[in-house]
Protein backbone atom coordinates (compact mmCIF):
# COMPACT_ATOMS: atom_id res chain seq x y z
CA UNK A 1 0.00 0.00 0.00
CA UNK A 2 1.46 3.40 -0.92
CA UNK A 3 2.53 5.60 1.95
CA UNK A 4 0.29 8.66 1.54
CA UNK A 5 -1.30 11.05 4.02
CA UNK A 6 -4.20 8.64 4.59
CA UNK A 7 -1.85 5.77 5.34
CA UNK A 8 0.16 7.89 7.76
CA UNK A 9 -2.90 9.04 9.68
CA UNK A 10 -4.09 5.44 9.85
CA UNK A 11 -0.73 4.35 11.28
CA UNK A 12 -0.94 7.05 13.88
CA UNK A 13 -4.49 6.06 14.67
CA UNK A 14 -3.89 2.30 14.88
CA UNK A 15 -0.37 2.30 16.20
CA UNK A 16 3.13 1.93 14.86
CA UNK A 17 3.21 -1.86 14.79
CA UNK A 18 0.25 -2.21 12.39
CA UNK A 19 0.74 -0.92 8.86
CA UNK A 20 -2.83 -1.19 7.59
CA UNK A 21 -1.94 -4.39 5.81
CA UNK A 22 -5.40 -5.91 6.07
CA UNK A 23 -8.89 -4.79 7.12
CA UNK A 24 -8.84 -7.38 9.90
CA UNK A 25 -5.86 -5.70 11.56
CA UNK A 26 -7.59 -2.35 11.37
CA UNK A 27 -10.84 -3.65 12.90
CA UNK A 28 -8.94 -5.52 15.61
CA UNK A 29 -6.92 -2.42 16.50
CA UNK A 30 -10.06 -0.27 16.59
CA UNK A 31 -11.73 -2.40 19.29
CA UNK A 32 -11.41 0.18 22.09
CA UNK A 33 -12.07 3.03 19.67
CA UNK A 34 -15.25 1.35 18.39
CA UNK A 35 -16.67 1.36 21.91
CA UNK A 36 -16.02 5.08 22.21
CA UNK A 37 -17.58 5.75 18.81
CA UNK A 38 -20.65 3.70 19.75
CA UNK A 39 -20.98 5.65 23.01
CA UNK A 40 -20.64 8.98 21.21
CA UNK A 41 -23.19 7.91 18.57
CA UNK A 42 -25.64 6.74 21.26
CA UNK A 43 -25.30 10.02 23.18
CA UNK A 44 -25.75 12.02 20.00
CA UNK A 45 -28.90 10.05 19.10
CA UNK A 46 -30.23 10.52 22.63
CA UNK A 47 -29.64 14.27 22.38
CA UNK A 48 -31.41 14.49 19.01
CA UNK A 49 -34.36 12.47 20.33
CA UNK A 50 -34.64 14.70 23.42
CA UNK A 51 -34.57 17.81 21.23
CA UNK A 52 -37.27 16.47 18.91
CA UNK A 53 -39.51 15.39 21.78
CA UNK A 54 -39.10 18.60 23.75
CA UNK A 55 -42.36 20.57 23.96
CA UNK A 56 -42.51 23.85 22.08
CA UNK A 57 -42.07 26.85 24.28
CA UNK A 58 -43.12 30.29 23.19
CA UNK A 59 -43.05 33.62 24.98
CA UNK A 60 -46.50 34.34 23.50
CA UNK A 61 -49.79 32.90 24.72
CA UNK A 62 -51.52 30.44 22.40
CA UNK A 63 -53.93 31.89 19.85
CA UNK A 64 -57.49 31.15 20.96
CA UNK A 65 -59.75 29.12 18.71
CA UNK A 66 -62.85 31.13 19.63
CA UNK A 67 -63.50 34.85 20.10
CA UNK A 68 -66.23 36.97 21.69
CA UNK A 69 -68.49 38.96 19.38
CA UNK A 70 -71.27 41.40 20.16
CA UNK A 71 -74.31 42.27 18.08
CA UNK A 72 -74.25 46.05 17.61
CA UNK A 73 -78.02 46.03 17.21
CA UNK A 74 -79.12 44.01 20.26
CA UNK A 75 -76.04 43.77 22.50
CA UNK A 76 -76.17 39.96 22.50
CA UNK A 77 -72.84 38.23 23.05
CA UNK A 78 -71.63 35.27 21.01
CA UNK A 79 -68.51 33.13 21.26
CA UNK A 80 -67.64 32.14 17.70
CA UNK A 81 -64.87 30.16 16.07
CA UNK A 82 -62.77 31.66 13.30
CA UNK A 83 -64.70 29.55 10.77
CA UNK A 84 -68.06 30.82 12.05
CA UNK A 85 -66.92 34.43 11.78
CA UNK A 86 -64.75 34.29 8.67
CA UNK A 87 -65.80 37.83 7.73
CA UNK A 88 -66.21 40.88 9.95
CA UNK A 89 -68.91 41.87 10.57
CA UNK A 90 -70.06 38.30 11.12
CA UNK A 91 -73.63 37.16 10.53
CA UNK A 92 -75.98 36.95 13.50
CA UNK A 93 -76.90 33.25 13.98
CA UNK A 94 -80.65 33.94 14.23
CA UNK A 95 -81.25 36.97 12.00
CA UNK A 96 -78.58 36.29 9.37
CA UNK A 97 -77.73 40.01 9.30
CA UNK A 98 -74.01 40.89 9.51
CA UNK A 99 -74.05 42.80 12.83
CA UNK A 100 -71.47 40.94 14.94
CA UNK A 101 -68.05 42.43 15.63
CA UNK A 102 -65.27 41.30 17.98
CA UNK A 103 -65.38 42.67 21.49
CA UNK A 104 -63.38 42.50 24.70
CA UNK A 105 -64.48 42.25 28.31
CA UNK A 106 -62.61 44.81 30.39
CA UNK A 107 -61.37 44.37 33.95
CA UNK A 108 -64.26 46.51 35.24
CA UNK A 109 -66.74 44.06 33.66
CA UNK A 110 -67.79 46.30 30.78
CA UNK A 111 -67.78 45.07 27.20
CA UNK A 112 -66.11 47.25 24.57
CA UNK A 113 -65.27 47.31 20.90
CA UNK A 114 -61.61 47.83 20.04
CA UNK A 115 -60.61 51.11 18.39
CA UNK A 116 -59.72 49.35 15.13
CA UNK A 117 -63.42 48.71 14.47
CA UNK A 118 -64.53 52.34 14.87
CA UNK A 119 -64.59 52.94 11.10
CA UNK A 120 -66.79 49.87 10.62
CA UNK A 121 -69.20 51.14 13.30
CA UNK A 122 -69.30 54.62 11.77
CA UNK A 123 -69.77 53.28 8.25
CA UNK A 124 -71.31 49.94 7.35
CA UNK A 125 -72.83 49.25 10.79
CA UNK A 126 -74.03 52.77 11.64
CA UNK A 127 -77.64 52.01 10.64
CA UNK A 128 -77.69 48.92 12.92
CA UNK A 129 -75.82 50.32 15.91
CA UNK A 130 -78.15 50.76 18.89
CA UNK A 131 -75.91 49.66 21.77
CA UNK A 132 -72.32 50.87 21.23
CA UNK A 133 -71.42 54.31 22.59
CA UNK A 134 -69.42 55.91 19.77
CA UNK A 135 -67.29 58.04 22.12
CA UNK A 136 -66.12 55.26 24.43
CA UNK A 137 -66.91 52.22 22.24
CA UNK A 138 -68.46 50.59 25.34
CA UNK A 139 -71.49 48.33 24.76
CA UNK A 140 -74.49 49.67 26.67
CA UNK A 141 -75.79 47.12 29.13
CA UNK A 142 -72.44 45.30 29.19
CA UNK A 143 -73.44 42.73 26.60
CA UNK A 144 -75.72 39.84 27.45
pLDDT, tens digit, 9 for 90 and up, residues 61-85 = 777 888 899 999 998 999 888 888 7
Burial 99-118 (b: 16+ CB within 10 A, else e): bbbbbeeeeeeebbbeeebe
Q: Are 138 and 110 in contact (CB under 8 A)?
A: yes
Q: Does one domain contain both 92 and 133?
A: yes
Confidence of residue 101 (pLDDT cuts 50, 70, 90): very high
The parent domain of residue 81 ranges over 66-142
Residue 88 lies in a domain: yes
Q: Does one domain contain both 89 and 113?
A: yes
Q: Across-strand partners of 68? A: 79
Residue 60 lies in a domain: no
Q: Does one domain contain both 135 and 72?
A: yes
**pLDDT above 60 (res 40):** yes
The per-residue pLDDT of the chain, averaged, comes to 79
Give the pLDDT confidence score for residue 7 in this predicted structure: 58
Q: Does one domain contain both 92 and 129?
A: yes
Dump pLDDT digits (tens) for 3-12: 555 555 555 5
Q: Does one domain contain both 37 and 86?
A: no
Q: Does one domain contain both 40 and 107?
A: no
Residue 94 lies in a domain: yes
Residue 15 lies in a domain: yes
**pLDDT above 80 (res 115):** yes
Amino acid sequence: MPAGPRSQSLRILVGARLHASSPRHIIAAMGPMKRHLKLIAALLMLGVAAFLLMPESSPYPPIPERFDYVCVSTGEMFNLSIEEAARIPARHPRTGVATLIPCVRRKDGSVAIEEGFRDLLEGELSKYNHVVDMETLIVKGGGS
